[in-house]
Amino acid sequence: MKASDLIEHISELDSFKRYGRVKKVVGLMIESQGPESSIGDVCYIHVGTKHKRKIQAEVVGFKDENVVLMPYTATHNIAPGSLVETTLKPLEIKAGQELIGKVVNSLGMPLDGSALPKGLASVPTDQAPPNPLSRPPISEPIEVGVTMIDSLLTVGTGQRVGIFAGSGVGKSTLMGMIARNTTADLNVIGLIGERGREVREFIERDLGSEGLKRSIVVVATSDQPALMRIKGASTATAIAEYFRDKGLNVMLMMDSVTRVAMAQREVGLAIGEPPTTKGYTPSVFAVLSRLLERTGTNKFGSITAFYTVLVDGDDMNEPIADTVRGILDGHFVLDRDLANKGQYPAVNVLKSISRIMNNIVDEPHRKAAERLRDLLGTYLKSEDLINIGAYKKGTSSEIDEAIGLYPDIIRFLKQETDEKVSMQESIFKLIELTGKG
């Protein structure tokens, strides 16, 4: 940088600190008179008399010329008159190669209390999605190591997929399988709104030490304020974007986007937004669209994203599920009935779709996948008649063929959680199976 440019840059710096005072605290919302700030700016609330400390908060709105703040942590010790200092900047986190293998919180700090590694770059958590015209088309499949997905629901590099499931149907297990087996360069995993007990279980049991070595895990547990849960999703996405801009193919997994929506609803209702569909505020749908559109391809690399969606009472048409399904490039439906029968992964092939698949697979693969879907659909339509013995062999050649191949199809769809199958092997098995008829 030239000396003249440096002088000009220094002259433009704002050396003044701006302060305000807390006027009112209602629940998690804090109103302060000043400081001058914008939506999204990070502020510090000075609390305590003997032991001075700062509480980080974010500007989420304005009310009657007062600034409305929401803290990243609990509101203990905040009192009327507490000093509020603005940074005039939105939240930034640190990202870099040295973060791989770490478990961090929504603010990007290691969860084990250790110091951040040196040499990391500052990254804003809230960024605009890539320009649509700068997104290269998805043209190559990405291997996830799960037979059912690689063969019947093939995912493209840079595709965004929703995993729709009720509670306890195996979505965390499926995410762990994908994280361990994928050919992506790096995994970024966001655990949003999880129970504290489940975090360590997922890292040790589902992800495993081998998976953690090539992953960065961002955790925001259910007991944390709504803003921390929202920031957890933004932080995980920002880290994935950082590595995408370095030219890597990143695998982003977020469990769950429903809890992000619930957290945004809490914030929206607290600042006075009107509730609309099922109590969700308008900002929920705007935040979801912006968050989900940030992933995918850009001119440097790609983010292949899997978002889990909790469907209330297994209702696939509830507002969040319906909105997310409309934004993403495919959806996998985990079926409770299949899980009860012991079929894992419990993905209902006939209710699931990869919108990119036909563009990235060859003709024999596509025809074999369609053939297996037809056989499975034919069997399930006649399953009740078959089970009660009302169907007579020879009535329909299609049903006869489906009955004959059904045990082989179920064996093909099942996979042990610690079993890794290459995409090439999965496709070979699929073509071999559908060619038996």
d(CA 188, CA 324): 20
Query: What pTM was estimated for this model as a whole?
Result: 0.91
Q: Which residues of 233-253 are buried (b: 16+ CB within 10 A; e: fewer)?
A: bbbbbbbbbbbbebebbbbbb
Residues 6+ apart with CB under 8 A from 329: 138, 156, 159, 160, 161, 354, 355, 356
d(CA 421, CA 366): 19
d(CA 185, CA 143): 11
> What pLDDT digit, counting tens, does each position of 425-437 carry?
999 999 999 886 5
Whether cis (ω within 30° of 0) applies to the bond prior to 35 is yes
pLDDT at position 15 over 60: no
Rounded to 5 degrees, what angle do the CA atoms 136, 331, 288 make? 70
Average pLDDT, the chain: 89
Percent of the chain with pLDDT over 90: 62
> What pLDDT digit, counting tens, does each position of 32-57 carry?
998 889 999 999 999 876 667 889 99
Note the pLDDT of residue 436: 64
pLDDT at position 315 over 80: no
DSSP assigned state of 129: P
CATH fold, domain 16-90, is Thrombin, subunit H (2.40.10)
> What pLDDT digit, counting tens, does each position of 209-233 carry?
888 999 999 999 998 989 999 999 9
The DSSP string of 377-406 is HHHHHTHHHHHTT---TTS-HHHHHHHHHH
CATH number among 1.10.645.10, 3.30.1330.90, 3.30.460.10, 1.20.1270.330, domain 364-435: 1.20.1270.330
Q: Where are the domains of the chain?
A: 16-90, 93-358, 364-435
Closest C-alpha among 220, 192, 225 to residue 29? 225
Helix (H) or strand (E) holding 186: strand 186-194
Note the pLDDT of residue 278: 81
Helix (H) or strand (E) holding 215: strand 215-221
pLDDT at position 21 over 80: yes
Amino acid identity at 425: E
The answer to whether domain 93-358 has CATH 1.20.1290.10 is no
> What pLDDT digit, counting tens, does each position of 348-358 carry?
999 999 999 99
Q: How confident is the model at residue 14 (pLDDT cuts 50, 70, 90)?
A: low
Report CA torsion sign: 427, 433, 436, 437.
negative
> What pLDDT digit, counting tens, does each position of 256-311 carry?
899 999 999 999 988 888 988 788 999 999 999 999 999 999 999 999 999 999 88
Beta strands in 249-329 (DSSP E): 249-255, 296-297, 302-310
Cα 333 to chain center, whole Å?
A: 16
d(CA 298, CA 133): 9
CB 240 within 8 A of CB 303: yes
Note the pLDDT of residue 160: 96
> What pLDDT digit, counting tens, does each position of 101-146 carry?
999 999 999 998 888 988 899 999 999 999 999 999 999 999 999 9
Closest C-alpha among 119, 93, 89 to residue 104? 93
Closest C-alpha among 80, 74, 75 to residue 32? 80
The pLDDT of 179-202, averaged and rounded, is: 91
Instruction: Label residue 340 exposed, middle or buried (CB < 10 Å: 0-12, 13-18, 19+).
Output: exposed
Note the pLDDT of residue 104: 95
